[in-house]
Amino acid sequence: MSKQISKAVRRVDAVDKASGRARYIADHDFGELLYARILRSERPRAVITGISKPEFPEGYYYIDARDIPEGGKNRIRIIKEDWPVFAEGEVRYIGETIALVVGPDREKVLELLSQITVTYEDREPATTIEEGLACKGGPIVGEDNLFGAYTLIKGDPDAAFKRAARVVEGTYRTGFQEHLYMETQGMVGTWEDGKLTLYASAQCPFYIRKSVAGVLGVEEAEIRVRQVTTGGAFGGKEHFPDVIATPLAVAVNKIHKPVQLIFDRDEDIPFTCKRHPSRITIRTALDARGNILGMDIDTVINAGGYESSSLIVLQRAILHGLGVYNIPSARVRGRAVATNTFPSDAFRGFGAPQGLYAIEVHMSQVARALGEQPAAFKRRYFIRKGDMTVTNATMKDNVILEEMFKAVDEMSGYTEKARAYENDPLRGIGIAFVNHGCGFTGNGEQEIIKSVVRMKRTGPHQAALYVSNVEMGQGLQTVLRKIAAKELGLDYTDIAYDNPDTDIVPDSGPTVASRSTMVVGYLIQECAKKLKDRWDEGIGVEAEQHYRHPEGLTWDQETFQGDAYPSYGWGINVIEVALDLVTYEVRTTGIWSAFDVGVPIDETIMAGQVSGGIIQAVGYAALEKCEVRDGMFYQRTMADYTIPTAVDFPEVKNVFLENPYPYGPSGARGAGELVFDAAAPAYVDAIQSLTGRNVYDLPVTPETIMGVLKR
């Protein structure tokens, strides 16, 4: 790595965490605490006909919608205000919050909870995408059960299909994925100096503040949210904390004492949001020589009982629908369907992994149908700078996928192995190419987020930075310090950056969408330049920087036309597998990757993102099964829901190719989600290479492989 900024430094939080000194939400001492437990719906779809409660002893509370103060509202402000804090009359999924039971003794709280009986009048639930689309049991929302639908059109897809000599079609399904952050969801609400204060393991302190203020009917500034050291999130602590903060705030607002709400693992797996299941059908029109004329893509995601951020997830899924390819004509349709499962929400990638999985596996299948090697076929369609995207804007990035392919091919021996394994029934190798739009879609950064960052000189050689973005494991507290230090000519350890507190920091937006390094980091870089100019004014001098959209980008939020993202990160994964004929177990024998993240800010932190993202994604592809039976997640413990261990996959061998982005700090682009996107399709492509058969659905368990081989 040539750039100074890429040289690894020791993370600022490493020693505290490794030694056990770092304090997570369950490790703080709040003095006398009350404990809260959620009374949850046991039915996927029903009308509540009665709730019978035991006598509550002094000091124990049953908190529900009636405790919301006047002027407040029993709805959580996420995107839309559809999700109730406490179920009112009807329940739409198993696990929906009905009430909180709060009190000083945990055992007693559990005992009271077990003595409450809710009676229901059941309705017929719809739990799968198909049942949702068919409005089984009658629509849950609107007339058609859709939270929303979009269509993108590029070129003339109808003409392409009319001219087609051949059409290749496939339907690809992906399942729920549980985040399984090692620290479960947790929050403590307190009443401090007349102000409701929430201490949260969370990604977005200002999201929590907004939703709590709406529920209590107060100004946002009357609520204080303080992020505490967070033990992993991956999107699972983006909106879901709003779902626990709001009932907790209602309780604290009533009781005026500290209340703790921390999930046990056997609550966290069955009763939190997961990655959206998807069903994507792709049809490709080919001419007589096997050239792609056009594509038709139909994307449906299972949103669950309430909308949450599902429409934004859906947008990202279809905006990534064509992957890294310049397809002359395309129609990409997307629908988010309501069902009676736990509402799906953000998970690293936010819809892109589903869209990219489908297009990558499909492109490999088209290649195989034409008797071509997948990589050779796919490379012919790589999008280049100046080509049209699916939203009819030109690609602005300088795309270096060809150089990246050369690098990863050299490391992995892909081309040769792909040829050699064609006739080897025990080995396979797969490849996937992806890009990931950085930051909010379209003009969201400009119109919705409007980030502000602040910096201050705090000593002779010290400065502090104030942002609302959080450290959740990804290394942000080190990365943003490095960016600031570089401009100020200081050491990164001379920059202070505390866990954000909404009473202190400006709103620089949520810690999501691969935006924190690229978007917020750039603001920090520019802010540091301003502070440097004013440095001699003395200790205490401050500087502020507001977001400005890069020049030359257009976006129409009504029609979804224009530059969907200011820039993309780019990636390639190669995965090699071998089959044990006795057990039918597939071992992964090699994982290689090449990424263009602009310029990596710290090569070790980025290497950690690469390994972590890829292993989380091969888990999604090969291990992590999450089924719904009778409206309930069937896998409810860590023993049932298995994620990769240290022995399941080999070391990831990675190379970064530098390709600076002018509006990123030191040329950096977003990377946190990109590293997740390619491994699942690469793994499935490897299974296709191994078996010589098409594979469509995730996860690909040993039973799936056995089934494929028997076909």
Mapped onto helix, strand or coil, the DSSP state of residue 219 is: coil
Residue 24 contact, options ligand FES, other proteins, none, Cβ 5-8 Å cut-off depending on partner type: other proteins
Binding at 51: pick from other proteins, ligand FES, none (beta carbon under 5-8 Å per type): none
Q: In angstroms, give the least distance from the CB of 277 to ligand FES.
A: 25
DSSP 218: S
Decide if 698 contacts 432 (C-beta within 8 A).
Answer: no
Min dist. Cβ of residue 94 to ligand FES (A): 25
Residues that bind other proteins (CB under 8 A): 8, 10-11, 13-24, 26-27, 179-184, 229-234, 264-266, 472-475, 604-605, 607-608, 610-616, 637-639, 643-647, 649, 651-652
The CB-of-9 to ligand FES minimum distance in angstroms stands at 18
Instruction: Note whether 439 and 451 are within 8 A (CB).
Output: no
* Nearest distance, CB of residue 497 and other proteins, angstroms: 16
Q: Which CB atom, from 10 or from 419, has the smaller least distance to other proteins? A: 10
Q: How far is the CB of 29 from other proteins (least distance, A)?
A: 9
Give me the residue label for tokens 């999201």: 207
User: In the structure encoding, which two tokens stand for residue 409, read together?
Assistant: 């091919």
Spatial contact of 230 and 236, defined as CB atoms under 8 Å apart: no
Q: Which does 266 bind (CB under 5 to 8 A by kind): ligand FES, other proteins, none?
A: other proteins
Cβ-based nearer residue to other proteins, 180 or 286: 180
Task: Indicate the SS3 state at residue 653.
Answer: strand
Between 104 and 232, whose beta carbon lies closer to ligand FES? 232
Positive or negative: CA dihedral 632, 633, 636, 639: positive
Residues that bind ligand FES (CB under 6 A): 182, 232, 473
Which of the choices ligand FES, other proteins, none does residue 651 contact, using the CB cut-off of 5 to 8 A by kind?
Answer: other proteins
CB closer to ligand FES out of 23 and 419: 23
| Alpha helices by DSSP H, 309-465 | 310-319, 352-369, 374-379, 401-412, 414-420, 444
Is 541 or 643 the residue whose CB approaches ligand FES more closely? 643
To ligand FES, the closest distance from the beta carbon of 398 in angstroms equals 34
At residue 582, φ and ψ (nearest 5 deg) are: -75, -50
Whether the CA torsion 648, 651, 652, 653 is positive or negative: it is negative
Angle at 171 (CA atoms; ends 168, 173), nearest 5 degrees: 150
First to last CA, the chain: 48
Residues in the chain: 711
Task: Closer to other proteins by CB, 294 or 475: give it.
Answer: 475
Give me 124's structure tokens: 């017929």
Q: By the 8 A CB rule, do 441 and 560 touch?
A: no
Q: Which is nearer to ligand FES, 182 or 221 (CB)?
A: 182
To the nearest whole angstrom, how small is the minimum distance from the Cβ of residue 111 to other proteins? 16
Show the tokens assigned to 602: 């710290």
**Is 481 in contact with 497 (CB distance < 8 Å)?**
yes
Min. distance of Cβ 181 from ligand FES in angstroms? 7
Rounded to a whole number of angstroms, the minimum distance from the CB of residue 612 to other proteins is: 4
Question: For residues 321 and 282, is the Cβ–Cβ distance under 8 A?
Answer: no
Residue nearest to ligand FES (CB): 182
DSSP class per residue in 583-598: TTEEEEEEEEEEEE-S
User: CB 235 → other proteins: shortest distance, Å?
Assistant: 12
- Secondary structure of residue 415 in the 3-state scheme: helix
Tell me the two tokens of residue 556: 């129409």
Closer to ligand FES by Cβ: residue 17 or 693: 17
- Of 180 and 249, which CB lies nearer to other proteins in the complex structure? 180
15 vs 182, beta carbon nearer ligand FES: 182
**Are 11 and 607 within 8 A, CB to CB?**
no
Residue 130 phi/psi, 5-degree rounding, is -65, -45
User: Which of other proteins, ligand FES, none interacts with 578 (beta carbon under 5 to 8 A by kind)?
Assistant: none
Residue 179 interacts with which of other proteins, ligand FES, none, CB < 5 to 8 Å by class: other proteins
Least Å distance, CB 671 to ligand FES, is 17
* Cβ proximity to other proteins, 10 vs 195, nearer residue: 10
Q: Please list the alpha-helical segments (H only) found in 90-221.
A: 106-114, 129-133, 157-163, 205-216
